Amino acid sequence: MIPVKFDYLAPTSVEEALAALGEHGDEAKILAGGQSLLPVLRMRLNAPEVVIDLGGISSLRGIRDDGDAIVIGAMTTHHDVRDHALVHEHALLLSKAAAEVADAQIRHRGTFGGALAHADPAGDLGAPALALGAQFVIQGPGGSRTVEAADFFVDLFETAIGEDEILTEVRIPKHTGWGAHYEKFVRVAHQWPIVAVAATVKGSIDEARVGLTNMGSTPLRASATEAALAGATATEEGVREAAELAAEGTNPPSDLNGAADYRQHLARVLTARAVLKAAGA
C-alpha cells in the first residue's frame, strides 16, 4: 500500500518541530513511532502534505525521577516503559499495561506519547495513565502547559493537544509500592483490547484506582468501584461486589467483538480480577 506523497521533515529540537508545525498548520502531521499514523497514511485515510518526524529529538526520549513524580518523555517506546526500573518502582501499572501493547515489534517502535496523543479508545495506555492521575506536558508556540489526565482525553481520537502543539512529556505521580495489574481481554494475542481494566491498589486495600479501556469514547475511571474499595479488605467477595459497579456510567461500543452489554459484563468481571491480582489476593 502506498501513501499519498508527502514531504518529510526531521527536526532535531522541539522548537524546530514547533516552528515547522506553525508553518504548515493543519497540512502537517507529527510522526512518532508511526505505528498508528503509517497504517492510516497507507490506507489513504489521511494525506498530510508534511510529516514531521520527532524521532531525531533526543530530549523527548527517556524516563527521569522528578521528586514526587516520574517523567516519561513522549518518544519513549512501549518497550522502554515496560522495562524501566523507575516505572517498576513508582508506576507498576504502566509497565504492566505497556507489556500488553500489540507485539514485540510494535512495542519497540510505538511510543508512549504517540499512543496517548493518538487517543484510540482501545489503546492500552490511556486507562492506566488516567488511573495514575498523569499530567500531560504540552508545548506550543507560547510555551508549555500542563493538562490533567481527566481533561486530556476529549473524545474518540481527540485530545487537549492543539493543532500547533506537541506533547513533550507525561508526569506520573509516584505510586511507590502500589500493587498493579492490567487485565486485557482479547480474542487473539496481537489485538487491541475488547475491554481492559487497569487497577492499582495501595495496601490491601487502602486506596484503589481503576481505569477502563474501550468502555467509551475515552478512557474512563470506575469511580463507584474505587469508592467502594477504599478501606475494604481484599476478599474475593468484597472485591466482586465493588466490581459490580464498574460499568456504571460507561458507554461502550458495539462491534464485531462484542455488543455493549457484553462489554459491560466484561468490565465487571475483569475489574474484579484486576483488583484481586493487584492486591495480591
Partner 1 sequence: MTATQDRPAAEIGKDRRRKEDQRLITGRTRWTDNITLPGMLHLAMVRSPFAHASITSVDVEAAKASPNVVAVLSGKDFGAELGVCINAWPITPDQKTPNHSPMPADRVAFAGEIVAVVVARSAAEARDAAELVDVEYDELPAVIGIKNALKDEVLAHPDLGTNKSALWVFDSNEVGTGSDVEAAIETARTDGIVIEREYRQQRLIPAFMEPRSVVVDPTGEQITMWSATQIPHILRFALAATTGVPESKIRVIAPDVGGGFGGKLQTTPEEWIAWAVARRLSKPVKYTETRSESLMAAHHGRDQVQTLTLAADKDGKVTGLKVHLDADLGAYIAVVGGGVPVLGAFMFNAIYKFPSYRFECQTVLTNTTFTDAYRGAGRPEATYAIERLMDELAAEVGVDPLEIRERNWITHEEFPFTTVAGLEYDTGNYEAATAKARESFGYDALRAEQKERRDRGDRVQLGIGVSTFTEMCGLAPSRVLGSLDYGAGGWEHASVRMLATGKVEIVTGASAHGQGHETAFSQIVADRLGVPFEDVEVLHGDTQIAHKGLDTYGSRSLVVGGEALVRAVDKVIDKAKHLAAHLLEASEDDLEYKGGRFTVAGTDQGVAIQELATAAFAAHNYPEDMEPSLDADATYDPVNFNYPHGTHLCAMEVDTETGAVKMRKYTCCDDIGVIINPLIVAGQVHGGLVQGIAQALWEEAVHDDAGTLVSGSFVDYLLPTSADTISFDVVHTDEPSVCTTNTLGTKGVGEAGTIASTPAVVNAVVDAIRHLGINDIQMPCTPERVWRAIQGSKAGGATETPPDAMPHFAEGEANQQSHEGALDQDGAGQ
Ligand X SMILES: Cc1cc2nc3c(=O)[nH]c(=O)nc-3n(C[C@H](O)[C@H](O)[C@H](O)COP(=O)(O)OP(=O)(O)OC[C@H]3O[C@@H](n4cnc5c(N)ncnc54)[C@H](O)[C@@H]3O)c2cc1C
Query: Which residues lie near ligand X (CB under 6 A)?
Result: 29-37, 39, 54, 74, 101-102, 106, 110-111, 113-115, 117-118, 120, 123-125, 161, 166-167, 190, 192
User: Closest residue (Cβ) to ligand X?
Assistant: 110
Q: In the bound complex, what is the minimum distance in angstroms from residue 165's beta carbon to ligand X?
A: 7
First to last CA, the chain: 48
* Rg of the chain over all Cα atoms, to the nearest angstrom: 19
Asked whether position 13 contacts partner 1 by CB under 8 A, the answer is no
CB nearer to partner 1: pick between 119 and 215: 119
Helix (H, G, I), strand (E, B) or coil at 147: strand
Considering only 44, 64, 108, 145, the residue that binds partner 1 (CB under 8 A) is: 44
CB nearer to ligand X: pick between 120 and 244: 120
The one-letter amino acid code at 92 reads L
CB nearer to partner 1: pick between 111 and 132: 111
CB nearer to partner 1: pick between 43 and 150: 43
Which of the listed partners (ligand X, partner 1, none) does 245 bind, with a CB threshold of 5 to 8 Å by partner kind? none
Q: Is the separation of the CB atoms in 197 and 211 below 8 Å?
A: yes
With contacts defined by CB under 8 A, name the span among 81-89, 168-176, 186-194, 220-228 that binds partner 1: 186-194
Binding map of partner 1 across residues 210-249, x = CB under 8 A, - = no contact:
----------------------------------------
CB contact set of 271 (below 8 Å; sequence gap of 6+): 183, 197, 199, 210, 212, 222, 225, 242, 243, 246
Q: In the bound complex, what is the minimum distance in angstroms from residue 173's beta carbon to partner 1?
A: 27
Q: In the bound complex, what is the minimum distance in angstroms from residue 71's beta carbon to ligand X?
A: 14
CB nearer to partner 1: pick between 207 and 262: 262
User: Cα–Cα distance between 214 and 97 in angstroms, integer?
Assistant: 14
CB nearer to ligand X: pick between 34 and 249: 34
Q: Is the separation of the CB atoms in 54 and 74 below 8 Å?
A: yes
User: Cα–Cα distance between 219 and 135 in angstroms, integer?
Assistant: 15
Give which of 134, 115, 37, 41 is closest to 77, Cα–Cα. 115
CA distances from 140 to 12, 164, 167, 173 (A): 16, 6, 9, 23
User: Considering only residues 261-280, where is the footprint of partner 1 by CB under 8 A?
Assistant: 262, 265-266, 269-270
User: Cα–Cα distance between 267 and 260 in angstroms, integer?
Assistant: 10
Asked whether position 256 contacts partner 1 by CB under 8 A, the answer is yes
What is the DSSP secondary structure assignment for residue 240, as one 8-state letter?
Answer: H
CB nearer to ligand X: pick between 34 and 281: 34
Q: Is the separation of the CB atoms in 136 and 51 below 8 Å?
A: no
Crossing angle of the two packed helices 260-278 and 236-243, in degrees rounded to 10: 150
Considering only 11, 73, 113, 121, the residue that binds partner 1 (CB under 8 A) is: 121
